[in-house]
Structure 1
Amino acid sequence: MRRFIIGLVLFLILAFPPGVYAAQTMLGKNMYAQKVISLPAGEVVEGDFFAAGETVEIYGTVNGDVYAAGGQIQIDGIINGDLLVAGGTVTINGIIAEDIRSAGGSILFGGQTEGNITAVGGNIQFLDSSHTVGNVVTGAGNVIFGGVVEGNIKAGVGNLTIANSIGGDVEAGVGNLRATSQATVGGDLTYWSEEPAQLDPSAIVEGETIKHDVPRTKYSSPSRAEVRGAIQGVNIFFAFISLISSLILGLLMIHLMPNYMRNVVITLKSKTGTSLLVGVLALILVPMGVLVMFATVFTIPLAVILLFVFFIYLYIARLFAILALGMWLTEITKTKTLKLGWVFIIGLFIYYLLGFIPILGWLAKGFIIVAGLGAGLLNKRAWYATARKAKIL
């Protein structure tokens, strides 16, 4: 769970980078978010290392776990811990003392891994220089095992090629399976496919080679109960994802801009009616303005940008009202002073519990979103006026 949350934080940093990063790229101890992040050879980091940027390069040593997200990621150093990485192109040539969890468009393994590897991507290749002591679990379009894997392999891929020594069993659901003359499987080779495996006569499988046909089931229309259950399952899944993303983004905003968050909450509490009115007007006027812009060719790009920014801000505006909800609850229950983060968590869970109340709960959530939007806009206006007066803008 800890790795999932940190991975989500890195994703949010990449997807919605706050403007403050332009001035402050170091977010905490060993935590960086900027365009290019490089840990030089010979440099040693004690503790976990966090990096998010267009390019992440690690040539030094990290005595802890590494969490990296970016467009291009190069790992050539030594990591005495786990590696959690997500990127467009990922290259891992270093020494990893524990496990690797990776996701990317293209992933290249060329180093030594003492633990297990989990990899999901478009194209994944284990070079002949790679050596994996543990097991490998992978899902991808194309996977080539050109290096040594001492453990087992479990794969769900389009095209799978085995071109080196696999110490344990291989279990794979594949479109096509090929084993070259250099392939050795120390255990069983079990695969599910519509096509027979292409095994070179020199390839060695010390256990059994077992092929399972892909079952063909006759399609039947789902019942209403099945459809209803599927919809409920999807709703619960997305509600959980929304809860986690709201939690991470809210705590991140409180950490980076606590005074700003407090000021918005003060505005919401002192000017609730005005906040609600401004929020309603924004919900009406902004879409109308976007429609007008779409009517003119030259303003279509501006309309697209405005609509995108508005929806992002509408999502963030909930967080202001959720924090205010938490403060209101702690005040009426006369709870002892809590840190702002805990107050936000209380408000967040109340907000999501409201969603389980039909009609009234939905109306309450709508009120919260609109009021938060209005308070945020009012506070933006006050902030802009103050910045102009101080000649910051």
Structure 2
Amino acid sequence: MSKQKAWLAFIFVALWAAVCQAETVQVQHGGDTFVSGGTISQTLDSSGDAFVTGRRVVAGGTSQGDLHVTGFDLTINTNAGEDLYAAGASVDVRGTVAHDLTAAGFSVRTAPSAETAGNVRLFGNTLTIEGPVSGALSAVGMDVILNAPVAGDARLLAKSISFGPDAVIGGTLTYSTEEKIAVPERVAPAARVVFEEVELSDAWDEWEGVRKEMPVLPGFASVFFGFLISLLFFVVLGALMLTFMPRRLERMRSSVAAAPGKSIVLGILGLALVFGMVPITAMTIVGLPFVPIAILAIFVFWTLAYALGAYSVAMWVFGAIGGGEEPGNVTRLLVFAGAICVIALLNFIPFVGWVANYTLVLLGMGAMTHALFHAMLGSPDVALDVDMKPIEGRET
């Protein structure tokens, strides 16, 4: 199962759980496991990758593939067979990681039981490293506390750095603080300690040094690879929509073609409703934990609207230049992929690219808003026709 398909399924599961709010939803697909809900206490047993999201997550068990965990308060007891990725306000990693560990949060901690066979990359305000690291360690935060053995090199960027009794660095320690600190000999001998003074204005440059330690491609190759991933994602999304909801997709596309102006107006209304979920949810106080889910919903609806708008315009252009009236799904996907490529090129034109992208989002959002109103209220156009028809024998 590709990463793009996996993340798409994960988004759908997360949105379903957001509708159910308190209910935990678990789906098995292609060997991967998807879990989403409000408060989750789950023992995983995944033969592939595992994706877990919730306001509060307590995860155990094992994941034979990669493990992805997001939420507000995360306690990860799961043993990851490959990489572990975690992001939240509070992240507590207690399980073992067979490859690399990457985590970000306001407070991030790796417990003594969290042994990592590869590299560890941590980002946040307070970072506490107590789990042994067999590879290299990269930590960027306000306060970094190292109390674990690190077999490889360590690079630390922080306002304050402290070392516990179990801190031992087998490679070179490179640290960056505003002032030089005393590194105990038991942690690393002076010959293997490098101090790089940092000021707030130099923080970004130091971050670039940390980032370069991670496996990345050169600039142009990174952009091109990112485009290919995005193109593949949208093609997979289009294939799913054409397979599972072809009639509904055709109705929404037709509504854009029939009245693009009305779709743009409805798109503005739809975006206002979606973005309005964040402050309204926060104002209820009890809904504060669901604000991240509301933000996720904005991202999902924006992406779907963009794809629908691009597909609608592409099919209109295809028909205008003499394309078949009923093209097959393969042809539709090729036309859609071509539209994504053209739009990507437009992004290199200042202002024009932004206007084109935003217009597509409004068109797609308008079609989805029209479909929603139609499902909730019926067809307003038919009702208008009935109301405006004069009654015979009565003066109008």
- Quick check: TM above 0.5? yes
TM superposition shift of 1:21: 6.2
Does structure 1 residue 67 correspond to structure 2 residue 51? yes
Equivalent residue number for residue 36 of structure 1 = 24
Equivalent residue number for residue 42 of structure 2 = 58
Contact 2:26 2:33 in 1 (8 A): no
Does structure 1 residue 127 correspond to structure 2 residue 111? yes
Aligned in 2, Cα 1:313/1:165: closer, same or farther, shift over 3 Å? closer
Equivalent residue number for residue 100 of structure 1 = 84
Contact 2:253 2:308 in 1 (8 A): yes
Equivalent residue number for residue 85 of structure 1 = 69
Correspondences of 1:210-289 after superposition (within 5 Å): 210-214=194-198, 247=234, 257-269=245-257, 272=258, 275-279=259-263
| Offset from partner CA, 1:201-245 (integer Å, 9 cap, x none) | 7x4325612211116879xxxxxxxxxxxxxxxxx9xx98xx779
| Distance in 1 of aligned mates of 2:38 and 2:18 | 17
Which amino acid counterpart does residue 60 of structure 1 have in structure 2?
L
| Distance in 2 of aligned mates of 1:136 and 1:183 | 15
TM superposition shift of 1:143: 1.0
Which amino acid counterpart does residue 265 of structure 1 have in structure 2?
R
Does structure 1 residue 164 correspond to structure 2 residue 148? yes
For 1:131, what is the secondary structure of its paired residue? coil
For 1:159, what is the secondary structure of its paired residue? strand
| Distance in 2 of aligned mates of 1:18 and 1:94 | 24
TM superposition shift of 1:65: 1.0
Which amino acid counterpart does residue 329 of structure 2 have in structure 1?
L
Q: Could you tell me the percent identity over the aligned residues?
A: 22
| Offset from partner CA, 1:18-45 (integer Å, 9 cap, x none) | 79966xxxxxxxxxx9832469xxxx99
Equivalent residue number for residue 49 of structure 1 = 33
TM superposition shift of 1:191: 0.5
Which amino acid counterpart does residue 166 of structure 2 have in structure 1?
Q
| Offset from partner CA, 1:333-356 (integer Å, 9 cap, x none) | 449612565554444444555566
Equivalent residue number for residue 208 of structure 2 = none
| Offset from partner CA, 1:229-280 (integer Å, 9 cap, x none) | xxxxxxx9xx98xx779948766766664432211223344xx2xx245346
Does structure 1 residue 116 correspond to structure 2 residue 100? yes
Matched residues, number: 333
What is the Cα-based RMSD across aligned positions, in Å? 4.8
TM superposition shift of 1:10: 4.1
* Deviates most, 357-366 or 103-112: 357-366
Does structure 1 residue 139 correspond to structure 2 residue 123? yes
Aligned in 2, Cα 1:154/1:338: closer, same or farther, shift over 3 Å? same
Q: How does the TM-score come out when normalised to structure 2?
A: 0.65
Q: How does the TM-score come out when normalised to structure 1?
A: 0.66
TM superposition shift of 1:367: 6.9
Aligned in 2, Cα 1:194/1:84: closer, same or farther, shift over 3 Å? same
| Distance in 1 of aligned mates of 2:341 and 2:93 | 42
Equivalent residue number for residue 224 of structure 1 = none
- Counterpart of 1:195 (choices 169, 173, 179) is 179
| Distance in 2 of aligned mates of 1:91 and 1:361 | 42
| Distance in 2 of aligned mates of 1:190 and 1:178 | 14
| Distance in 2 of aligned mates of 1:258 and 1:83 | 33
Contact 2:267 2:364 in 1 (8 A): no
| Distance in 2 of aligned mates of 1:74 and 1:313 | 28
**Larger relative CO (CA 8 A, sep 6+): 1 or 2?**
2
- Counterpart of 1:338 (choices 329, 332, 338) is 329
Equivalent residue number for residue 188 of structure 2 = 205
Which amino acid counterpart does residue 323 of structure 1 have in structure 2?
Y
Which amino acid counterpart does residue 204 of structure 1 have in structure 2?
V
| Distance in 2 of aligned mates of 1:100 and 1:197 | 32
Aligned in 2, Cα 1:50/1:213: closer, same or farther, shift over 3 Å? same
Contact 2:35 2:52 in 1 (8 A): yes
TM superposition shift of 1:330: 4.3
Contact 1:78 1:94 in 2 (8 A): yes
Which amino acid counterpart does residue 316 of structure 2 have in structure 1?
W
Contact 2:315 2:335 in 1 (8 A): yes
| Distance in 2 of aligned mates of 1:96 and 1:314 | 32
TM superposition shift of 1:384: 4.3
Aligned in 2, Cα 1:336/1:112: closer, same or farther, shift over 3 Å? same
| Offset from partner CA, 1:151-199 (integer Å, 9 cap, x none) | 2111212111111222122111121111122221112221111133354
Contact 2:4 2:233 in 1 (8 A): no
Equivalent residue number for residue 327 of structure 1 = 315
| Distance in 2 of aligned mates of 1:152 and 1:252 | 40
TM superposition shift of 1:383: 3.9
For structure 1, the residue ranges without an aligned partner over 5 or more in a row are 23-32, 219-235, 291-299, 302-307, 389-393
Aligned in 2, Cα 1:186/1:244: closer, same or farther, shift over 3 Å? same
Aligned in 2, Cα 1:191/1:20: closer, same or farther, shift over 3 Å? closer
For 2:178, what is the secondary structure of its paired residue? coil
Which amino acid counterpart does residue 322 of structure 1 have in structure 2?
A
